[in-house]
Amino acid sequence: MARPLRIEYAGALYHVLSRGDRGEAIFLDDADRRAFLCALEQVCGKTGWEVHAYCLMGNHFHLVVETPQANLALGAER
């Protein structure tokens, strides 16, 4: 069964999180964390997102993101 579509709003704040499969690590070292933050910065530049907070853990991350346009799914694909 397909997952229901997200409801997106311009100017909304979202708590975004992602975990590694079966609890596996997604960040092995600080270089991985820097690469993730660099990619996030590029996505924010293209989408206009503003990151209010983030937390990078070994096997997951949390973001609090504000989207000036209703484009959360577009940025998440990148």
Q: How many CB atoms lie within 10 A of CB 40?
A: 19
Amino acid at 34: R
Residue 45 lies in a domain: yes
Distance separating alpha carbons of residues 7 and 70, to the nearest angstrom: 9
Residue 71 lies in a domain: yes
Residue 33 lies in a domain: yes
Whether 78 has a pLDDT exceeding 60, the answer reads no
Residue 13: per-residue pLDDT: 94
Report, in this order, helix, strand and coil percent for the chain, each rounded to 5.
35, 30, 35
Q: What is the pLDDT of residues 7-55, one digit of tens each?
A: 788 889 999 999 999 999 999 999 999 999 999 999 999 999 999 999 9
pTM exceeds cut of 0.85: no
Residue 6 lies in a domain: no
Q: Quick check: 46 and 78 in contact, CB under 8 A? A: yes
Residue 1: per-residue pLDDT: 64
What's the domain range around 68? 12-77
Residue 2 lies in a domain: no
Q: How many domains does the chain have?
A: 1
Residue 41: per-residue pLDDT: 97
Residue 76: per-residue pLDDT: 66
Specify the CATH number for the domain of residue 70: 3.30.70.1290
Residue 7 lies in a domain: no
Residue 3 lies in a domain: no
Residue 62 lies in a domain: yes
